[in-house]
Every structure is written in structure tokens, then in C-alpha cells.
Structure 1
Amino acid sequence: MSLGNWLNNKENNSGIAVEYKRGHTWHQITWHEYLNKIVLAGEVLLKNGFNPKQHVGIMSSTRWEWAALDMAILGLRGVTVPMYPNLSDDDLIFIINQSEIKILVVEDEKEYEQVLKVRKKLEHNPILIRFIDIDFDQNVEDVQRNYYLQSCLKIKPKDIATIVYTSGTTGQPKGAVLLHEAIISEVTESFDLFDVKPNFKSLTFLPYAHVLGRIEHWGSCYKGHTLAYAESIEKIKSNLLEVKPDFLIAVPRIFEKVYSGIMAEVETNAIKQKLFSSALAAAKEVQLLRRTKQTIPWGLLLKYEALSKLVFSPIHKAFGGKLLFAVSGGAPLSPQLAEFFSSCGINILEGYGLTETCAAIAVNQPSNNQPGTVGKPIGDVQIKFAADGEILVKSKKCLVEYYKNLEATKASIQDGFFLTGDIGELTDRGFLKITDRKKDLIKTAGGKYVAPQKLEGLVKQDPIISQVLIHGDQKKFVSALISIDELPLKNWADSQQITYSHVADLYQHPALKVRLQKHIQSVNSTLASFESIKKFEIISEPWTVENGSLTQSLKVKRKFLEGKYADTIKEIYD
């Protein structure tokens, strides 16, 4: 099986491959039309001197043209090098030089001008193409289509498909080399678990420079369902209502934002709070009885059904009203958040994987979901654990090397197993459970190990909290830096009738500190004493990708933030 097989099967398919919005109108592209657009993208590459095995960069936000170009590159037996559109100049120069990109396709003038600006520092100047230079609406001749499809059929499993650079939190990016067999193994073995039908629809918004986003696209080519492209991250909320997806693939931050919005709305009214709490309690009780296969008292069932329709229906409608399940990956999803959505009737399936494993190596299934775990290993995946609990993985899905980085390759691949850098364990039922990133583990002055991501997930349960950085390495106690979400903060202040001239006034308001202190105490009640958060500081500046505080996959950059707020951290411990 290959990418060529998937597209050959859809050559005369009138089903919808893509939906996208321009202005106020959603447009559709059939599979037959989509194949033609892939062929046209390939023609542009060929006219610019493309040859098999050459490296082609794509520097753009997520859009259907990105996906079509990717399929053109792969089908013509080239190597795709995905790049974020907001790369720093240094990372842009490094990736172009190291990966030896021959052709670079950029989204618009902004990226075009950035490449021109750094051109003198490039070891070999790639041919520059903008998406507007590709006419996706030309007629396609049979000879062009046949050339592309025949090229697809020449792809070999061991051919390099893509070099994906990890965003990382420190140091230069590393290019994970993934083969075609990794893509086929990942896509077929994971999507078969979800029983996705050709008439399904998914709303896609993950960056295609992140391997999980491309798995979603390749999965649509395999299964034949429709990918609807969100206008932007900011418009996901309205796009969900318009698209009405059957399933979603997202990162935890999306679900955290939805949760924050729900809880912020609930907090505006005492009656809403009471109803919501009653509905949630009834739902949790019913779910526990169902999991343990016990009889549900009819009174509890009636209460649950009545409150669910009243309280949880708006949550379902917020996801479009048709959502069967959602897959969460790219970062840890807190068990509390998974349980919350499960109680609301939204089935979130957490998975686990890395760029180096071509996305998921384990995932929960709709019929077998164990919140608090990342599911069972997928397909050919073999897992073992190092003495310190580090997860080691062997699979066709894994990278073969870091491109032109022998030192990193030797450090990460040993005896055929990839060293993930994550600590975990298998439950007695065979589900994989992640404890934390090995390099992120905090060792307190008392010699106790603390998993910061676990604590950060718990603290972020408060809807006005946007991001958290846990600190405490070689310290007597654990502390937290807390970044506040401005909109929920203002809504809360208004509901509490707190007067303020500027939102900045709220960050140091005593009522906010009292609220956060109560929340931290609640979190601490679930923790061992050595991992309890003893002090915290509120950070007024938002943490974003743009200001360098978050990675492209929305994870906190620990070293960067610890350096930036070194004085604040010092004051906490003085």
C-alpha cells in the first residue's frame, strides 16, 4: 500500500475531499478535483527543475493548498520539509541550509520578504515560489495525471518522505527523517482504530509543520472523508458551528480553552453553577456505575437524563452537535479535563507520540477509552522501559535518523529503540500511562522528584488561568508562575462587581489573589506534601508563540521563561 494507491482509488470519486471558506462562503472540492489540483502543483515543481529525492520546503499556515502541494512532492518522490510561517530568521536560515532545500514554497509576501532578507546567509539559494504563483484551476491533461499517478506507484517503503524539524525548547532544531513506510504504518494502523467513514467530516486547524496535522490530512486521503479547513485558530469556535464535524484531532490547549469558556459562563450565575454541579455529579456517578457494570437506580438515571439535556446540550452544540469523538495529542491532557468532557458526553481519546514517531504510537479507542492513560500501543509498536522508567519505542513509525546529526541520532536510537525522553508505565490492562518528560522532572532540595506537567495541568483547571510554569529544582519547595487569560478574567471581575479602569489593575487585585490561593489549596489537597505548591506569582504578560514563551505546539518554553522571570523566581525563594 502507498500514497499512490490511495489517490488512484479516488481518481473518479465525486465525494468531497476539502471544504474551505473564502469570505462568507464555504466551498467544496471533490476528490477528482483535488487530485487534479495535486497534479497542477506537481507541474509547477517540474517546470522549476524538480527531480525525485530533492528537498522541497513549505513555509505556510494550514490551508488546503499546503496539503495538495505536500501530496504533489511525495507523489513525485520528493522530500517535504515543513516550516512554520513565523520562524525566527536564525531557525529559517538553519533549516534551509541544513536540509538543502532546492525549492521553497511560501504562503505570501511576508514569508517571501523574510527569505529575501536572509538570502545572503543561505549556502544555496532555493527557488522561491508563492502559492499565488500556482494556478490550481487549470485544466489537467490525461498525460499529466497519468505521469503523477505512475510516479506515485514507484514510491518504495524505504524512501524518505519528509524531514520534520522539532520546535524544541532549547538549542537548534533537529530534523527527524521519516520514511514512506512510517506514514503508511501510522495512518493505516491508527485510523483503522477509529472506524472513520467516507461520509465523515473533520475540522482541521493544526499546523502542518507539526506532524500530527499532516497525519490528519494523510488520514483523509486513506479513508476518503472530508477535511474542512478552519479559517484560523481564533475562528475555530464559529467554524465548529458551521462545519458540524463528526470528529476532531486537536492538542490539549484547544480543549482547555473550551473548558475555560464553559466554566467562565457557568460562573456568571449562581443558578447555573448549581445546575451544572448537579448535572456533573450525576453524570460522574452514572459513568462510574456503567464502567463497573452495576445497575443504575432509575431515580439517578432520570435525573441524569433530564439534567444532561438541559445542561450538556449547549456544550454538544458548541462542538457542532454531531461530534462522535475527539483525539487529543501533542501534549498531556489532564485526567480531570478528560473526565469533565466525558461526563458532558464528549468522548476525548488521548494518544501519545512524538515528531520522531510520526505522531501516535499509542491511543485510546472510542470503544475502549481509559482516561488518564494514552491508550494501548498501535499496530507494530513495541514498548519497553529503561531502568529509570523512560519509554523506549521500536516501530516502522520511528525516524531513521536526525538529518545530518549523527551525535543526536546515536543518543536517541539504541539497539533499534527510540528513546522518547518520557517517563511512563503500562497498566495491568496494557494501557500506557505517561508520568512526565524525563528532562523536565524537578528534583527538590529534599531529593524528591516532582512531575511539573502534572501539576501544571491541575492548576490550569481554573478557567481564568492560561498557562502555568512549575519551578522547584534544587529548591526547598515547589512554586508556580501563573499567566492569566484576559477575557475570562474580565468576565469574572464583572460578575464579582469589581471596578477597574484597566485590565492591568486586576492582576494585583486582592480578590484575584484570594481566588487563586483557594484554587491552589484545592490542588494541593490532591498532592503529596513534597509536590504541593507553596507559593505562586501572577504574570500579567500573556505567554504566546510570538513572544517566545510557547513552542509552536503551544508548550511552555521552560528554560526561556525561567531566564526571563529569573528575578521573580529569586524573590519567591528569598
Structure 2
Amino acid sequence: MQQEYTQPLVKPIESDRNIFTLLDDRAKRTPNESLVEYVGGDGKWQSFTATQFRDKVIGLAKGLIARGIKPGDSVAIIAHTSWQWTALDVAIMSIGALTVPVYETNSPAQVQMIFNDSNVKMAFAEDDAQRDKIDAVSDSCADLKDVYVIAAGAIETIEKFGQGITDDEFWQREKAVKGSDLATIVYTSGSTGTPKGIELTHSNFVFITISGVQSMGDILNKPGRRLLLFLPLAHVFARFMQLVCFAGTVTLGLSSNLKTILADFRTFKPTFILAVPRIFEKIYNAASQKAGSGVAGRIFSHATDTAIAWSKAQQSGKPIPRALQIRHAVYNKLVYSTIMQIFGGKVEYAVSGGAPLNATIAHFFNGVGLPLLEGYGMTETCAPAMVNPTKGYKIGTVGIPLQGVSVGVSDTGELCIKSRAVCVGYHNHPEITKEQIVNGWLHTGDLGSIDSDGFVTLTGRKKDIIITAGGKNVSPAEVETSVMTSPVVSQCVMVGDRKPFIAAIISLDLQETNAWLKSEGAEPVKDLKEACKNPIVRAEVERAVNKANELVSRAESIRKFEIVSDEFTEANGMLTPSLKAKRQVITDYYKDLIDNVIYAPKKS
């Protein structure tokens, strides 16, 4: 490694604990305090104490034992974020079985692939729509035995089955679960676009959870801490956060409806927020649009400039100019305090992860009074590996390693991570495991640098993955290849890095286009410019895009495309010698098209 930095552990972390012990310890520490809160059918917040939630998990675990779930068996969950998801997750892992999360947006084909790769024996679906996905492929899933629907009473059913199992039987199973046992297989898209299962142990999760509490004590380990979690629990970051709430002193609020998220902020009153950058962008845009274009709009614009200037001055480490301090104080009363009320009025920090955070957005919220502490991690590291501290944070970096985590930069500039949270490997892919984890160092595929204080800055991405503003990792190869099966398409290049959705730039093959038009009884076109405008050609491209989109979830699909009149060739630098599109060259060349047409800012 040409650079290396390790954050030492302040207190040692036991290596042979299982995940259930985090919940059990919390129930012993704060038995009657609210642990998990959720919005009930009456629209009001309801609560489980730590003891009640632990007992709920034990009841479900006993039901799973009664239904024949053995150590090492895989159980899938396809549902939105909810207390039921959390309870099932911990119950499954508590008896040595493996939780296999599936995004509710996954296609039936993806469900089939994941179920078969991990040998899923039981599945919990949120509702009839999710069950229908499973039913559509169940005949092709040889190991699948039982499917339960949460909306149709799955929790109560499993608990009823569990009444025939004694507490002793549960505790025997729980105590047999060791730190080295697998806890979950989490699927994420690889460079080929095919989901890869990442094997994570109990020890992986316990280590990074306790490290997180020790590293972020201001956020997680003081009285009255509250987190509103609305990210999908199929994402490993959200699952880590539910566990870190158990291990700290945090009350965990669960919500999955982004349409009500602002109302949930106001009523739940979180002390910190975890979100992907897109959420903060939406809040910023909503505040800007609400201000309008009149006097209020001008005030908001000046307040924004002041917040950003104040933040940059604060980050410089130099004294903030007196005039700027005065302007900041004025706008704090007029504007900033109102924005902070959007989050419920008690929020102190926000942690941003899952995608790169725009520096302007970070400076704006920092200036308003809400530091956005950017972090970094991967599914392979149980989510977080580094995060900005609450004191001395540096905007533009992804922070410093959590306690017990080492980061390094290889001779090729690739960011590498070593810790007890690094995964066992890639399920059924020993060759990928051998390639990605070398001498304990996980090679992330991202390029980065480390400063003298241990702060890590990302400088680029080695692997060909698009990360949207919502934090979705999208491997474009499968969809692009499908679109290019159209007789008129020469190249399809998906874009959307740090953008709200996936789009595509599509080039045409003139000779093949004319041949296809003739076969369809239509007139040929004289050049590519005319081809781009031809409604018959466009309809064919749209058909190809729609067909390709059926292969993936909505978040991974092409939502918008532009047909360009340029030819991509090796001579103009847009293709490699093997005729693969050079994504960075093409996105740089079409930057204006991407920014001002595909993702044109909405007019207020």
C-alpha cells in the first residue's frame, strides 16, 4: 500500500458474539424504554419497549423452528421497511438461519435468481403483489417450501406455530450461533450486472456495530437519541443502523412512505437522520420552490449564499468574518430555523451515504445548522467503513475509518479496506472472492487518497458502476446489451451518476437502420440526423428500451433516452479496439446534453 491509515480500537470488541445478543443486551439495559416505534393504522406513533420487541423476536424465532427452519437455511424477506421486517430479520438470524433480503422493486427474474443461488426455503412477502412475483417463479425454485404474506397475518401465524416450542428450545438454538456463522447473504450487482451474493457473518455485523457506537458516541450513545429510518431494509446500510440503535441508546423509528416523510419528521422528532444525498436534494429543492420567485425567493437566495459562505469559512479553519456572522445570524431567524423545523426541530446531525454528496448541498445544510456527515462503505464491509466525526468534520471527504478499521491506497490508486467487518466472500463465486479480497484487504474498485489526519477523499471509480443520487448501485451492462440487440441501435450508454434516475445516450447504425426500415415497408433515411428524427426509428428504439427494462428493477431501468446523430468509432475515441463504448469519454462529450436536456432543471 502506498498509503495506509488505521483508527485504533478504544475498547476491545468480542469476536464470538451473535447478532441477537445486541438486542438481548439492550432489553437488559433499558427494559422499559421505547426501542422501536412505528405509525399504526390510526396514523399515530406506536411503540415496543426493548423487552416487548425482544419477546416478539423470540416468538417469531420459535415459530420458524416449528416450521422446520434449520441452522444454515435461507429465509427471504421482500417488503418495505417496517417493524415486521426488523423483527423477522433478527428472528431468522437468532436461530442460525440466514436472512436473504430482496428489494421490493426486484423483478420476478431477479427473485428467481436470488432464491436459487441462496437456496431459499421460506419467504415473507409484504403483500399480494410481492407474493405474485414469487408465485410466478416458484415452480423454478426447487428449495422453496413456504411463502407467508405479512399483510395477511404472517406474523401472527408464525407466532401461533411457535407456541408449541419451549423457551429452552429457542435458547439452545440461539446459544449455538457463533460469531463465525453466516448471518445473511446480501445481493448486490457486480460488474457484469448479475447480482452477487455477499456472505456476512454475525461477527462481521457485531464488530462494525459496536465499532460504530464507540466511534459515534455523540450520535448514538447519549440519552434521548432518536433515529427515523426510512431507507429500504434490503440495503445493508439500513440493517446496520437498526443494529446500531440496539447497541446504543437510540429509539428506532421506522417509516417507508416517502410521501409522508416530512410529516413523520415533525411528529417523530429525530435527533439525527440517515439518508442518501437525493433526500437532502429534495428537501433543498422543496424549500427553494416554496420560497418562490418574489421577495421571499430573493431572501431565500441570499440566505442560501450566506449559508454556503459561512460553511466554507467554517471549514477553512480561519475566523469567520464579522459581517458574515451577522448576516448568518439574521438569516438564522428568518430562514434557517424554519428549515430545521422541517426535520422536527431536534435534529443535530445527519449521516449521508450510499452515493457521493454534492458539496454545495453539504455546505448549505452545514450553514443552516445541520452538518451532513458523509461516510463510505460497501455491502462487503457491512455498510460503513468510515464516516466524518461530529467534531472536525471535513466537507468533501468521506471521513475517517471507524475504530478498528484500516484503509489503504494501493499502487494503482485503488481504495482498500481491512477490518473484521470485511465479508467472508461472494456466495458461490470463490474466484471473485480471491480477486477482491487479497491478504485481508478488500479492493473496493474506487480510487481515493488519505490525508495526514486519516480523512479519505474519493477521486474516481475504477469499476463501471453508476451510483444514482438515491444511492442505487446500477450495473449497466445487461440493459445496454439488451438495447443493442435492436436492429437500429449501434451503441447504448447509460448515464445517471449522481443523478435522480437512469437515462441513456443511444447512437444508430445507418446501414442497419435503412435495412430495417426497408424490411418494414418504410422509406430509408439519407443520414443519421434524419434517422434520429424519424418517428418509426424512435418507436423501435423505445421498444428496445422497454424490453430491456423488463430485465431489471425500476431503479435500474432507463427512464429517459436521447438518440444522437454522431457515430461512435475507435477513430473518434468513443470506442475501444474491441468496440466497447468508453463511458467517461462519451459522458464528457455529451455533458451539455446530459445536464441541460436529459436532466434539465425544472422551471419554477
Q: Same fold (TM over 0.5)?
A: yes
Cα deviations across residues 142-162 of structure 1 (Å, max 9, x unaligned)?
Answer: 984554445434332211111
The match for 1:37 among 33, 56, 72 is 56
Matches of 1:139 and 1:171 in 2, distance apart?
A: 40
Matches of 1:569 and 1:176 in 2, distance apart?
A: 42
SS at match of 1:174: strand
- Checking the alignment, whether the CA contact within 8 Å between 1:198 and 1:226 is kept in structure 2 is no
Matches of 2:506 and 2:139 in 1, distance apart?
A: 44
Match of residue 515 from structure 1 = none
Match of residue 495 from structure 1 = none
C-alpha deviation, 1:17, in angstroms: 1.2
The reply on whether 1:260 has 2:276 as its aligned counterpart is no
Match of residue 124 from structure 2 = 105
The reply on whether 1:243 has 2:238 as its aligned counterpart is no
Instruction: Return the letter of the residue paired with 2:22.
Output: W
C-alpha deviation, 1:123, in angstroms: 2.7
- Checking the alignment, whether the CA contact within 8 Å between 2:116 and 2:142 is kept in structure 1 is yes
Tell me: CA distance 1:273–1:11, structure 2 relative to 1, closer, same or farther (3 Å): closer
The reply on whether 1:133 has 2:151 as its aligned counterpart is no
Match of residue 85 from structure 2 = 66
Match of residue 476 from structure 2 = none
- Checking the alignment, whether the CA contact within 8 Å between 1:351 and 1:364 is kept in structure 2 is yes
SS at match of 2:184: strand
The match for 1:187 among 209, 223, 241 is 209
The match for 1:14 among 32, 38, 44 is 32
- Checking the alignment, whether the CA contact within 8 Å between 1:177 and 1:401 is kept in structure 2 is yes
C-alpha deviation, 1:141, in angstroms: 8.2
- Checking the alignment, whether the CA contact within 8 Å between 1:456 and 1:470 is kept in structure 2 is no
Cα deviations across residues 403-456 of structure 1 (Å, max 9, x unaligned)?
Answer: 0112322232223221111111112332101122213499xxxxxxxxx99995
C-alpha deviation, 1:401, in angstroms: 1.1
SS at match of 1:134: helix
Tell me: CA distance 1:550–1:260, structure 2 relative to 1, closer, same or farther (3 Å): farther
Instruction: Return the letter of the residue paired with 2:425.
Output: E
Match of residue 188 from structure 2 = 166
Tell me: CA distance 1:170–1:455, structure 2 relative to 1, closer, same or farther (3 Å): closer
Match of residue 567 from structure 1 = 563
Match of residue 461 from structure 2 = 437
- Checking the alignment, whether the CA contact within 8 Å between 2:106 and 2:553 is kept in structure 1 is no
C-alpha deviation, 1:285, in angstroms: 4.3
Match of residue 347 from structure 2 = 323
Matches of 2:36 and 2:175 in 1, distance apart?
A: 24
Tell me: CA distance 1:379–1:71, structure 2 relative to 1, closer, same or farther (3 Å): same
SS at match of 2:369: coil
The match for 1:340 among 364, 370, 378 is 364
Instruction: Return the letter of the residue paired with 2:561.
Output: Y
- Checking the alignment, whether the CA contact within 8 Å between 2:124 and 2:147 is kept in structure 1 is yes
Match of residue 293 from structure 2 = 269
The reply on whether 1:53 has 2:61 as its aligned counterpart is no
- Checking the alignment, whether the CA contact within 8 Å between 1:79 and 1:161 is kept in structure 2 is yes
Instruction: Return the letter of the residue paired with 2:46.
Output: H
Matches of 2:233 and 2:425 in 1, distance apart?
A: 21
Match of residue 573 from structure 2 = none
- Checking the alignment, whether the CA contact within 8 Å between 2:58 and 2:91 is kept in structure 1 is yes
Matches of 1:302 and 1:139 in 2, distance apart?
A: 65
The match for 1:5 among 21, 29, 43 is 21
Matches of 1:303 and 1:193 in 2, distance apart?
A: 35
SS at match of 1:199: coil
Tell me: CA distance 1:383–1:550, structure 2 relative to 1, closer, same or farther (3 Å): farther
Matches of 1:146 and 1:220 in 2, distance apart?
A: 27
C-alpha deviation, 1:180, in angstroms: 1.1
SS at match of 2:375: strand
C-alpha deviation, 1:122, in angstroms: 1.5
- Checking the alignment, whether the CA contact within 8 Å between 1:40 and 1:140 is kept in structure 2 is yes
The match for 1:223 among 239, 248, 261 is 248
Matches of 1:14 and 1:441 in 2, distance apart?
A: 45
C-alpha deviation, 1:168, in angstroms: 5.1
- Checking the alignment, whether the CA contact within 8 Å between 1:350 and 1:373 is kept in structure 2 is yes
- Checking the alignment, whether the CA contact within 8 Å between 1:228 and 1:243 is kept in structure 2 is yes
C-alpha deviation, 1:362, in angstroms: 0.9
The reply on whether 1:427 has 2:443 as its aligned counterpart is no
SS at match of 1:102: strand
SS at match of 1:9: helix
Instruction: Report the count of equivalent residues.
Output: 484
Tell me: CA distance 1:11–1:294, structure 2 relative to 1, closer, same or farther (3 Å): closer
More displaced, 6-15 or 58-67? 6-15
- Calculate the TM-score normalised by the size of structure 1: 0.76
C-alpha deviation, 1:228, in angstroms: 1.1
The reply on whether 1:368 has 2:392 as its aligned counterpart is yes
Match of residue 480 from structure 2 = none
Matches of 2:366 and 2:183 in 1, distance apart?
A: 37
The reply on whether 1:397 has 2:421 as its aligned counterpart is yes
Cα deviations across residues 79-119 of structure 1 (Å, max 9, x unaligned)?
Answer: 11111123211111111111011221222222222212212
C-alpha deviation, 1:569, in angstroms: 7.2
The reply on whether 1:213 has 2:213 as its aligned counterpart is no
Instruction: Return the letter of the residue paired with 2:141.
Output: L
The reply on whether 1:311 has 2:335 as its aligned counterpart is yes
Cα deviations across residues 460-502 of structure 1 (Å, max 9, x unaligned)?
Answer: 6xxxxx44769799xxxxxxxxxxxxxxxxxxxxxxxxxxxxx
C-alpha deviation, 1:254, in angstroms: 1.0
Tell me: CA distance 1:11–1:298, structure 2 relative to 1, closer, same or farther (3 Å): closer
Instruction: Return the letter of the residue paired with 1:183.
Output: F
More displaced, 141-150 or 97-106? 141-150
More displaced, 358-367 or 148-157? 148-157
Instruction: Return the letter of the residue paired with 1:565.
Output: F
Tell me: CA distance 1:454–1:258, structure 2 relative to 1, closer, same or farther (3 Å): farther
Larger RCO (CA under 8 A, 6+ residues apart): 2
Tell me: CA distance 1:336–1:151, structure 2 relative to 1, closer, same or farther (3 Å): same
Matches of 2:502 and 2:363 in 1, distance apart?
A: 21
SS at match of 2:104: coil
Match of residue 259 from structure 2 = 234
Match of residue 25 from structure 1 = 44
C-alpha deviation, 1:355, in angstroms: 0.8
Match of residue 6 from structure 2 = none
Cα deviations across residues 335-378 of structure 1 (Å, max 9, x unaligned)?
Answer: 22111111111111100011111101111011121110000112
- Checking the alignment, whether the CA contact within 8 Å between 2:365 and 2:371 is kept in structure 1 is yes
Matches of 1:269 and 1:117 in 2, distance apart?
A: 51
Instruction: Return the letter of the residue paired with 1:395.
Output: S
More displaced, 387-396 or 340-349? 387-396
Matches of 2:170 and 2:144 in 1, distance apart?
A: 27
The reply on whether 1:378 has 2:402 as its aligned counterpart is yes
Tell me: CA distance 1:237–1:384, structure 2 relative to 1, closer, same or farther (3 Å): same
Tell me: CA distance 1:157–1:569, structure 2 relative to 1, closer, same or farther (3 Å): farther
Match of residue 154 from structure 1 = 176
C-alpha deviation, 1:273, in angstroms: 3.3
Tell me: CA distance 1:139–1:110, structure 2 relative to 1, closer, same or farther (3 Å): closer
Matches of 2:167 and 2:505 in 1, distance apart?
A: 56
- Checking the alignment, whether the CA contact within 8 Å between 2:229 and 2:255 is kept in structure 1 is yes
Match of residue 584 from structure 2 = none
- Calculate the TM-score normalised by the size of structure 2: 0.73
- Checking the alignment, whether the CA contact within 8 Å between 1:332 and 1:453 is kept in structure 2 is no
Match of residue 226 from structure 2 = 201
- Checking the alignment, whether the CA contact within 8 Å between 1:334 and 1:454 is kept in structure 2 is no
